[in-house]
Amino acid sequence: MLQHHLDADPEDAAAWALYGKLLLDMDETEVARIALEEALFLAPDDLGAACALAEVERRQGELVAGLARLGEVLKFLPEHPEASRLARIMVLQRFALGDAAAVLPITADQAVPVARACSIIGRALSEAHMRKEAVCAFQLAAQALPDDYNSLNDLACALLRSIPAIDGGHEESNSMLDARMLRALSNALMSYLRCIEIAPKSALAYKNLGSLLTNLARRGIYDAEGAAAYTQIKAFQLEPEDYSQRLLAASLLFDLKQLEASAALYSGENIIPGGDEEEDGGRWRLDVFVKGFTQGIDKIEEQILVSVDPARRAEALIRVGDILVGLGMEGEAVLFFALALQDEPDNIHCREAVRAAMSSRRLLHEAIAVSTGDRSILPPPLVMAWP
């Protein structure tokens, strides 16, 4: 019946699309392709026909062509259910081929839509905790657009999420790195470095690389403290108003015993002094750090509460508190721990630190004096931590 209708009205795009889909259901892919191409010639905006033709291309082994076509559909409707479903199938089909599969040839006109489709599916797979499959999707996107910052950044993030020893939220976060994980880690580092090459003025590019290096250093996987400090400081220099970045850079410098530079950052200086002074056979000048750090305590507290992202505020307060404890300044540290308890009331580390300080009346009075200037008033943050 449809054939008779099309003979009588060959300009009916909807009929051609329906005819093509029926043929596809019967696995008549060659004839279905002709019908669907005719439908799209008459109605280029028919997203349903485009999805059906993409499925024809998939069945005939033209994976890139199918992904590119779906990418065009997703450009107009990023949450198109059929386009998303088919793109996901194609990515998983590619993933099933494994590392031995040849690199897919992607032409210049296919690059952008292929990257778009793969990026959308990669994010969906990540949300579904299909980490390795997500890596495959982002690899295809980065292959299509090797100089695209977003594609490379997405790939690096996906690679890191696929490594249990790096992904802190993974139940196997303390596992050793095997050969596959090391390769993924290397590729992630290279992707982040490429992002910096593409966008050398992007603070985010340096933050991402610095966060990875900091993670590696603190987990004892690589000796990366120096590189982590450099990248985090570079990020701060590009965005000096980001106070949370200032704190992170300062804490890394402190870990490296770059005390004068760390104190300058903590106390609010934007210019990082060069080098460190030594005395007494190489002892680091703690007095320089303590002076600069303590002079900036009021500013540190104010800036954390006002400027730092609330999601990271407790982390920043705890970090400052830990440094104060390390310097023997428990009285000042207790305020920072108590403030952190307001955001994380179940944080055992903070609660124990506050209780330890409050066990001494002298330290309690010092904490009150630091926060209010009046020893007779107990600050509200400390009330929360009272045993």
Q: Would 1-162+177-183 and 186-306 be classified into the same CATH topology?
A: yes
- With a cut of 60, say whether residue 328 has pLDDT above it: yes
Q: Determine the pLDDT at residue 387.
A: 37
Three-state SS for 278? strand
pLDDT in tens, 118-171: 999 999 998 888 888 899 999 999 999 999 999 999 998 888 888 776 655 443
Which band of pLDDT confidence, cut at 50, 70 and 90, is reported for residue 336?
A: confident
Q: What whole-number distance in Å separates Cα of residue 117 and Cα of residue 133? A: 14
Which band of pLDDT confidence, cut at 50, 70 and 90, is reported for residue 285?
A: very low
Q: Determine the pLDDT at residue 327.
A: 60
Tokens of 37: 């191409």
Are 214 and 252 in contact by the 8 Å Cβ rule? The answer is yes
User: How does the average pLDDT of the chain come out, rounded?
Assistant: 75
Which is higher by pLDDT, 273 or 61? 61
> Which residues fall within 8 angstroms of residue 295, CB to CB, at 6 or more apart?
267
What is the Cα Rg of the chain in Å?
29
Lowest mean pLDDT segment, chosen from 108-112, 132-136, 324-328: 324-328
Q: What whole-number distance in Å separates Cα of residue 232 and Cα of residue 244? A: 11
Instruction: Detail the DSSP E strand segments found in 158-312.
Output: 278-279, 283-284
Query: What percent of the chain shows pLDDT beyond 90?
Result: 24
**Which CATH superfamily hosts domain 186-306?**
Tetratricopeptide repeat domain (1.25.40.10)
Are 381 and 337 in contact by the 8 Å Cβ rule? The answer is no
Taking alpha carbons only, the member of 347, 318, 348 closest to residue 333 is: 318
Which CATH number applies to 1-162+177-183?
1.25.40.10
- With a cut of 90, say whether residue 36 has pLDDT above it: yes
* Maximum Cα interatomic distance, the chain, rounded to a whole number of Å: 100
Q: What whole-number distance in Å separates Cα of residue 58 and Cα of residue 117? A: 14
Nearest-10 crossing angle of helices 81-96, 131-144:
100
Which band of pLDDT confidence, cut at 50, 70 and 90, is reported for residue 35?
A: very high
- With a cut of 60, say whether residue 239 has pLDDT above it: yes
The length of the chain in residues reads: 387
Lowest mean pLDDT segment, chosen from 20-24, 194-198, 296-300, 340-344: 296-300
Q: Determine the pLDDT at residue 298.
A: 63
- With a cut of 90, say whether residue 46 has pLDDT above it: yes
Lowest mean pLDDT segment, chosen from 20-34, 202-216, 305-319, 338-352: 305-319
Query: What percent of the chain shows pLDDT beyond 70?
Result: 67
Lowest mean pLDDT segment, chosen from 25-34, 122-131, 251-260, 296-305: 296-305
Are 233 and 293 in contact by the 8 Å Cβ rule? The answer is no
Q: Determine the pLDDT at residue 306.
A: 67
Which of 5-14, 107-116, 160-169, 324-333 has the highest average model confidence (pLDDT)? Answer: 107-116
For the chain, domain boundaries = 1-162+177-183, 186-306, 307-386
pTM above 0.85, yes or no: no
HSE-up of residue 151 (Cα within 13 Å, Cβ side): 22
Lowest mean pLDDT segment, chosen from 103-112, 276-285, 359-368: 276-285
Which band of pLDDT confidence, cut at 50, 70 and 90, is reported for residue 386?
A: very low
Are 183 and 202 in contact by the 8 Å Cβ rule? The answer is no
